[in-house]
Amino acid sequence: MLRRSLAVCPALQAGLHRLPQSLLPQWSVRASRHRAIATETAVRYPPTDHCTCRRLLHSSRILANGASLRSTPYYNCTPGQLPSQSIDVDQPYPTASEDGYHTISFYSFFDIEKVQVPRLRDKIQREWARDLQVVGRIYICEQGINAQLSIPTEKTRDLRSWLETHKVFSGRIPKFNWAIEHRRSFKALHVRVRPLVATGEPLTLETLSHEPEYLSPDAWESELHSAQERGDSPLLIDMRNNYEFRIGQFQGAVCPDVDTFREEMAAVRTMCKERQDKQAPIYMYCTGGIRCSIAGAILKSEGYENVKTLQGGVVAYGKHVRERPEGAANSLYRGKNFTFDKRLGEEVTAEVLAKCDQCGGPCDSFTNCANRSCNLLFIQCPKCAERHHNTCGHATCIERSHMSHEELIKNRRPTVWSYHLRVRPDKVFGKDGIARPELLANKA
């Protein structure tokens, strides 16, 4: 297979020539471990399959950098189509919600040929919406796929079957990460060609090959409990945004006061440098795991040797807490897990950590202002929601919340807030609990 690919792919040939001579025997040994896969790939794809050549070249670059040629649940550098997994790999299925939908997420890092990306986007958009009734948000690019979606209960097995019978995704999508609470969490399906996470810097599969250590919820809990018993204070980083941290967090965690992942990486690098020990353990967690997979890989590629992340994120930990006999008792996580969908949160424990942004009473329910041109993200209790008609309280927003769809289109307004202000209610609410955009540069 390798010789056939080399014969038709000068780029791969050049890539192998750049390998240190000492690594060539290692490449041969590792490649032999994948002989069965390579044989199947050679049969299924002609030697002119440039996607297979790209993956082989990618593998050679990883080895040239001293990393191992391997596959994990979230990262796969094996060239060619992989053997399919069982369509029952996601069992046991959770109990369906009242509206009959499951909410799931998954992500995987692997090489996709650039020309294939828009084709895959169109195919997923068409077939998942039409045949599987999927709704959700999916990002796809040359480095893999990141998906958050809701699907009718009876279609869940069909989704896995679709993935395992597609040559690009077969064997590359890990077990679905089931949500803590299930319902139809999205209005429609949107498949976008864009980076899996907005890092603000170039991200390659070579960097992602430096994976952090993944800890199951049990192992995560055990290690943090052991650290507490020893009196240690390991660096425990919440890789989510500041507003997510408001309503739920692990005990002892620190969350940089930022609004985007790209800002957080800069803050995390500073925090790690201050420790002045690249062998000290670094613990990281996020909503579903992908931000920590990426952040952990970046840190490890920069020399930090002991980076550990919570596999499946708060979503997996919350499910773990609910399924154990003692429930939320002794949970290291307190409060809710913020979600980027219609739910805007799911309960892990019953503790309420936050306050209503309008009246200051205990509350942890996020909402968006009903005026779409405002769309301010803030915490609002039921009483304030009734008083302010599900808006931020500004007179214009209340007026527009009562308009029909046709009236809103006829009387369109520009967006009120910049992104940073839209997620910072503390900067825009007055003492009376009403948003005051007229006090800022942006006018309503």
Active site residues: 286
95 Cβ partners below 8 Å, 6+ apart? 182
Residue 327 region, left (φ>0) first, then alpha (ψ -120 to 50), else beta?
left
Q: Give the span between the Cα atoms of 264 and 242, in whole angstroms.
A: 10
Other CB atoms closer than 10 Å to residue 154's CB: what's the count?
11
Residue type, position 54, single letter: R
DSSP state of 381: -
* Residue closest to 117 by CA, chosen among 142, 136, 143, 80: 142
- Is the backbone peptide bond immediately before 414 cis, with ω within 30 degrees of 0? no
DSSP-derived 3-state class of residue 401: helix
Q: Give the Cα separation of 36 and 82 in Å (integer).
A: 10
Q: Long-range contacts: 346-352, Cβ < 8 Å, 24+?
A: 346/179, 346/180, 346/181, 346/318, 347/180, 347/181, 347/318, 348/180, 348/248, 348/314, 348/317, 348/318, 348/321, 349/321
Q: How many residues does the chain have?
A: 444
Residue 155 vs residues 123, 139, 176, 309, 320: alpha-carbon distances, Å? 17, 21, 14, 31, 24
